[in-house]
Amino acid sequence: MLSSTSTFTTILTSTSTLTTTLTKKPGWSIAGNMSAVRYQHTVSLLENGKVLVVGGIQNSSILDVTELYDPVAQRWITTGVMNDMRHAHIAVVLRNGKVLVAGGFNGSDFLNTAELYDPLTGIWTMTGSMKNARNYAAGSILPNGKVLISGGYDGDNILDTAEIYDPSIEAWTITGNMNNARDGHTTSLLSNGKVLVTGGFAKHVFENTAELYDFTTEKWTQISSMKDGRDGHTATLLSNGEVLVIGGYYGSKIYSGVELYNSSSGYWKSVSNMHYGRRNHETVLLNNGKVLVSGGSNGTIAIKSVELYDPSTNVWTIIHDMNYKREYYAACLLPNGNVLVVGGFDGSHELSSTEVYTP
């Protein structure tokens, strides 16, 4: 069955051969349902082009179930079960193709455990545990193939600590502490190899602070602060190496404001606001250099509105809504340039639905 975004183009060649090609109009199409409803999960694009979905919350229960989306076959299949149930965890694709999942919460305990998913076997195996339990932390792969995890909440305190995972020995080591404790923050690997950390929440404060981690010295450097403190925001590395920080919230205030970090100058500037304030949304950098921002919450209800940001013109454009309202979901860019969005919460129910955006 063709979706409503499908069209046919028929070509008659000089040799009278009839050729029909199928193209997609820009917009959203349903990509089928997962086996489980879930929110606060992660998605990871594997080297084989499939998408791994891990953990999350289902009807107040925490999931250990994982699933794969095959964009070629356009179908979902279940894969190996994790050793620990978890949500609000970190998932990072390693250089060897395996996926590292660490931390999170299992419904009763904050986790320091970590495990590896092998796409070749579909099996999860435990790896070294972190020094600290942490959920709502942030993770980034470093230029040397190791993984940095920073901040988060351990059940008692919001953390300023950070750790490094070395895949070659499957072990964690403590690295330098951040200047500010934070959870719900973002990390972005810059073109110069440093990691930019922005915002988050700590000690009843919505952080506007930002800092850089240098893996060669294992030190953090406080840099100029953003205009607005924010949590529930996103940070997207643009094609030109700048970082676009979008939306989020400060207390009851929901931001439509957007800020841009220039890694060369080290300074922030405000750019055009979105049409809608939103938090707990998703952003994806498209192959054309534009940024797709979808869903989230306006502070009262989950939303399905979608906007495109063009960095070359500093203009936001409202485009087709998603088929479903969703926040606390996950999204990723597929190998063909389309965008997959997965699960989430619509304000009343957890979702198993997924959809694909065609630019």
pLDDT in tens, 192-212: 999 999 999 998 999 999 999
> What average pLDDT does range 37-53 have in this prediction?
99
| Burial group, residue 243, by CB count within 10 angstroms (0-12, 13-18, 19+) | buried
> What average pLDDT does range 45-53 have in this prediction?
99
Q: Residues 309, 230, 37, CA angle at the centre, nearest 5°?
A: 75
**Is residue 24 very low, low, confident or very high in pLDDT (cuts 50, 70, 90)?**
low
Q: What is the token pair recorded at 288?
A: 């054309």
Q: What is the token pair recorded at 241?
A: 């190496």
Q: Is 336 left (phi over 0), alpha (psi -120 to 50) or beta?
A: alpha
HSE-up (13 A, CA, CB side) for residue 37: 11
Q: Which residues contact 319 (CB under 8 A, 6 or more apart)?
A: 26, 27, 306, 307, 308
Q: Which range is least confidently modeled, 24-28, 255-259, 279-283, 354-358?
A: 24-28
Cα separation values, 331 from 228, 281, 339, 355, Å: 25, 9, 7, 10
pLDDT at 23: 57
Q: Evaluate whether residue 281 is within a structural domain.
A: yes
Q: Evaluate whether residue 331 is within a structural domain.
A: yes
> What average pLDDT does range 315-341 have in this prediction?
99
Q: Evaluate whether residue 3 is within a structural domain.
A: no
HSE-up (13 A, CA, CB side) for residue 151: 28
Percentage above 90 pLDDT, the chain:
92
Is 149's pLDDT higher than 90?
A: yes
Q: What is the token pair recorded at 140?
A: 């980034």
Q: Evaluate whether residue 178 is within a structural domain.
A: yes
Tell me the average pLDDT of the chain: 95
Parallel/antiparallel/unpaired status of strands 306-310 and 291-294? antiparallel
> What average pLDDT does range 52-68 have in this prediction?
98
Q: Evaluate whether residue 5 is within a structural domain.
A: no
Is 167's pLDDT higher than 90?
A: yes
Supply the CATH number for residue 297's domain.
2.120.10.80
pLDDT at 10: 42
**Is residue 15 very low, low, confident or very high in pLDDT (cuts 50, 70, 90)?**
very low
Distance CA 258, CA 276 (A): 11
Structural domains in the chain (count): 1
pLDDT at 161: 99
Is 5's pLDDT higher than 70?
A: no
Q: Evaluate whether residue 226 is within a structural domain.
A: yes
pLDDT at 13: 44
pLDDT digits (tens, 9 = 90+) for 224-277: 999 999 999 999 999 999 999 999 999 999 999 999 999 999 999 999 999 999
Q: What is the DSSP string of 213-235?
A: EETTTTEEEEEPPPSS--BS-EE
Q: Evaluate whether residue 148 is within a structural domain.
A: yes
Is 21's pLDDT higher than 80?
A: no
pLDDT at 211: 99
Q: Which domain holds residue 280?
A: 27-358
pLDDT at 212: 99
Cα separation values, 59 from 63, 348, 352, Å: 10, 11, 12
Q: Evaluate whether residue 1 is within a structural domain.
A: no
Torsion, Cα 35 38 42 48, to 10 degrees, reads: 10
pLDDT digits (tens, 9 = 90+) for 168-201: 999 999 999 999 999 999 999 999 999 999 999 9
pLDDT digits (tens, 9 = 90+) for 67-112: 999 999 999 999 999 999 999 999 999 999 999 999 999 999 999 9
